[in-house]
Amino acid sequence: MHDVEKIFEKMSAALPEGPVRIKEAVEAGRKVVGCYCAFTPYEVIRAAGAIPVSLCSTSEKPIAAGEEHLPRNLCPLIKASYGFGLTDTCPYFHFCDLVIGETTCDGKKKMYELLDRLRPTYVMQLPQIVSEEAVESWRHEIKLLARHLEETLGTAITEEALRREIRWRNEERKVMNELYELSRLCPPPLSGRELHLVNEFFKVGFGEEAYLNKVRELTRCLRENYEAGQRRVSDEKRRIIVTGCPTGKSVEKVFHAIEENGGVIVAFENCGGVKPSYELVDEALPPYEALAHKYLGIPCSCMSPNGKRLKLLEDLVAEYEADGVVDLILQACHTYAVESFLVHETARASGIPCITVETDYYQGDVEQLSTRMGAFVEMMGI
């Protein structure tokens, strides 16, 4: 049997090394571009020779600082992300030459106006519907971004570099999808908390092959161990799909509550899970057109209508043989909160129960979450 626990330990130990590696890259002359959203086309940033880093904060620490400029009744992700910039306490933000945002939800796009005072912030105008005209408009926006990167970073983006980065990013998506798909097995070979750890590890890989190889190794070892009879998760656990707002450190309390109370998370539909990776960029199309199709197709709740998310959820429920859906809503996130009604309807049509959990980044509701998740799993008949 392969020692998969050791691989998880190594992944966990690699997380704090991320900021140091970015500092070293900057000292070696690399440019760093901060991103907040799954709509950001990383391929273009990489083709410009820069390192894209995710700045989406999942920590409660900078929220109080963020609230000095932003309303309290705003999603914690936005307040925390802004608070990090304001206090200059996020090492990734600190090293960014440029920040890229998109006009997604109202809170985020208005926050970028203030963020621009702290660090040059380039905002892409995201259409919020999928249509031929919208794809064309988004293609144009991606080209404008490319031009902006060229001017700001003093570089040239060649078609060859763009195609190379599209291939590489697709490869990354394929590797992550292969890992996710392991959880279709009954019982799954890894827990949702372990899946989440791999997602975090992947983020601090910054596109380096060694990091992707570690994920490949993990997937192979888990599969071979499973084939040899290893079962790391009890088959009595109820299989849960988590959907809704982006996942991250401060909402791990929800995953914990599910998995300590008789459930196992088999898939994350959220950003930080399947949502940004399940579709690839079409390598046969001209690069900007291919990127426009791929990124506009991300089923975020800021799109209207957003039936694609419900179809994705329905497919995940069937493919992962889910017993229940947990709909994770960050406080004051109106778009995901409104879609909750449709998420419940979709779960009902698939014949499984659904629960909406509204939370923030603070840890005050840990016990309440545990009680609610326990009751939810019990209802499924453990």
Rounded Cα gap, residues 37 and 272, in angstroms: 10
| 298 counts as binding ligand SF4 under rule CB under 6 A | yes
Rounded Cα gap, residues 257 and 159, in angstroms: 47
Q: What is the DSSP string of 222-246?
A: HHHHHHTT---S-TTSEEEEEEESP
Which of 300, 322, 326, 373 lies at the binding interface for ligand SF4 (CB under 6 A)?
300
Encoded one letter per residue, x for contact with ligand SF4 by CB under 6 A and - for no contact, window 254-293 reads -----------------x----------------------
Please, what is the minimum distance in Å from the beta carbon of residue 77 to ligand SF4? 4
Encoded one letter per residue, x for contact with ligand SF4 by CB under 6 A and - for no contact, window 96-135 reads --------xx-xx---------------------------
Which of 22, 53, 302, 357 lies at the binding interface for ligand SF4 (CB under 6 A)?
302
| 75 counts as binding ligand SF4 under rule CB under 6 A | yes
| 309 counts as binding ligand SF4 under rule CB under 6 A | no
Range in contact with ligand SF4 (rule: CB under 6 A) among 87-95, 152-160, 174-182, 295-303: 295-303
Question: Closest by alpha carbon to 359, among 326, 312, 322?
Answer: 326
Range in contact with ligand SF4 (rule: CB under 6 A) among 47-55, 61-69, 212-220, 333-341: 333-341
Please, what is the minimum distance in Å from the beta carbon of residue 13 to ligand SF4? 27
Rounded Cα gap, residues 15 and 17, in angstroms: 5
| 312 counts as binding ligand SF4 under rule CB under 6 A | no
| 79 counts as binding ligand SF4 under rule CB under 6 A | no
Range in contact with ligand SF4 (rule: CB under 6 A) among 35-43, 277-285, 344-352, 374-382: 35-43
Question: Closest by alpha carbon to 200, among 48, 329, 15?
Answer: 15
Range in contact with ligand SF4 (rule: CB under 6 A) among 70-78, 128-136, 161-169, 188-196: 70-78
- CA terminus-to-terminus distance, the chain: 30
Q: How many CB atoms lie within 10 A of CB 323?
A: 20
Peptide bond into 41 cis (omega under 30): no
Question: Closest by alpha carbon to 144, among 41, 50, 51, 49?
Answer: 41
Cα atoms in the 13 Å half-sphere on the side-chain side of 12: 10
Q: Which two tokens stand for residue 330?
A: 């960050």
Rounded Cα gap, residues 188 and 119, in angstroms: 43
Residue numbers of the site for ligand SF4 (CB under 6 A)? 37-39, 75, 77-78, 104-105, 107-108, 245-246, 271, 298, 300, 302, 330, 333, 335-336
